[in-house]
Amino acid sequence: MAVTEVSPADRAAINAEVERLTQSTVLHGSEALCRLLRYLAGQAVSHPGVPVKEYQLATEVFGRPADFDPRMDSTVRVQTGRLRSKLAEYYPSAGAEDPIVLEIPKGSYSLVFHYRTPAPPVRLETPVLVATPEPAPLARSPRNVPGASNQLVPVVWILSALTLFFAGLLIALWVSGQRQTQESSKNDALAEPLKTFWAPFLQAPEMPWIIFSNAEFVGKPQVGIRYFDPARDDKSSILDHYTGVGEVLGVAELSRVFARVHRDVRIKRGRLLSLDDVKNNNVIFIGSLAENLVLREIPTTQDFIFRKIPSGARAGDVEIANLHPRAGESVTFQASETLPIQEDYALIGLVPGLNPSHWILVLAGTTTMGTQAAAEFVCRARDVANILDALPYSGKPLGPFEAVIRVRVSGGVPVSSTIVAVHAGH
């Protein structure tokens, strides 16, 4: 469908279809294809009519370097061909009832869409009663029958009333059906694992708060910035208007999940959050205590904590410490030492809030890439299902837990995440 502008309705339909596809069995477990599909969909709605280039996909989706040579690396062609085949496989089977179809035409790297042609509506015929007046006696003319011209008036009124009745009934049934469809769509907007995981935040009367990290820096971007050190820095020199790329993308991912169930959220930066806010609301923290400073003032996770490496070549770097390691678990989790970072670790922790009727969810990596991965992890049904399977809450409401995930990073983008430790809450 060649367009120069995508309407909000089309944009919403494409995004919804992408979510259906990424959660389908056809694309289940294929992080690369899901990432490619999301990217192509984003290009289709943001830059309609603009062809997507192979080099663009290689560097922006698959983390290839700037000197990428398509003659030596066929990744883009292979993965695009796989996605094209998966789409062709999906729509005749699991996607047979989907209202919109996504395709990648052969010889192209761009995603196109079109709506299925709806079936002709079923016409509900209202029976029409035809009144046939009795024939007048031959000996008398109708003109001579008193009141003959008024005999059909009651019949006309009856037919009109019946027509209006049936029309009103059909309209009422249609409206009722639309409401049921909307309610069903709202309830089914999230897969079951996501409904279970997010239930504490979706069922509460208050809107959840998303708090992104807002660290204290000093210095200037032109010469370098560093974390504020109260021992040697003046508070008047603090720069508090920076946050990580992963935090921003994490907030966007969470917002999409809540938008799918028409749930409003409040987004706030960490330095403006008060303890009263934490006490009176369900709160989701994006970023570790090294960045989200208010986390230093409230109790959160107990088994896995963030701390600075005390000594050695990496002294001062942030790591996740396992205070109660179980068999086969590491005592510490650290991002890869060399740059660019190829591996990170992130914490996903659900704990009771300062008010026991509320909850706190911590999503944080030792770097901004890990933070992004943690937020994306809890927004994917299959990943959330893995956490739920590892917890003893089957068939019950979700309880507190702490989990650590290993994040593989390519080109500054988290490309895959796996669980390495899960502890149920105390």
Place of tokens 């999301």: 38
Strands 266-269 and 209-212, by their bridges, are: parallel
- Residue at token pair 């837990």: 401
**Which residues, 6+ apart, have CB-to-CB distance to 281 below 8 Å?**
206, 207, 208, 209, 266, 353, 358
Contact 277, 353 (CB under 8 A): no
Return the DSSP state at 286: E
The hierarchical CATH code for the domain 8-115 is: 1.10.10
313 φ/ψ angles, rounded to the nearest 5 degrees: -65, -25
Average pLDDT along the chain, 426 residues, taken 10 residues at a time: 67 90 85 91 88 91 86 87 90 89 91 74 43 46 45 54 60 57 51 92 90 76 70 71 82 91 87 83 84 70 89 87 93 91 95 90 93 95 93 89 95 92 88
Rounded-to-integer distance, Cα 401 and Cα 46, Å: 39
C-beta separation of 250 from 371 below 8 A: yes
CA nearest neighbour of 368 among 213, 205, 199, 148: 213
**Is the four-CA dihedral 237, 239, 240, 241 of positive or negative sign?**
positive
Domain residue spans in the chain?
A: 8-115, 192-424
Residue 344 pLDDT = 96
List 112's β-bridge partners, or say none.
103
Cis preceding linkage at 340, omega within 30: yes
The pLDDT value given to residue 50: 87
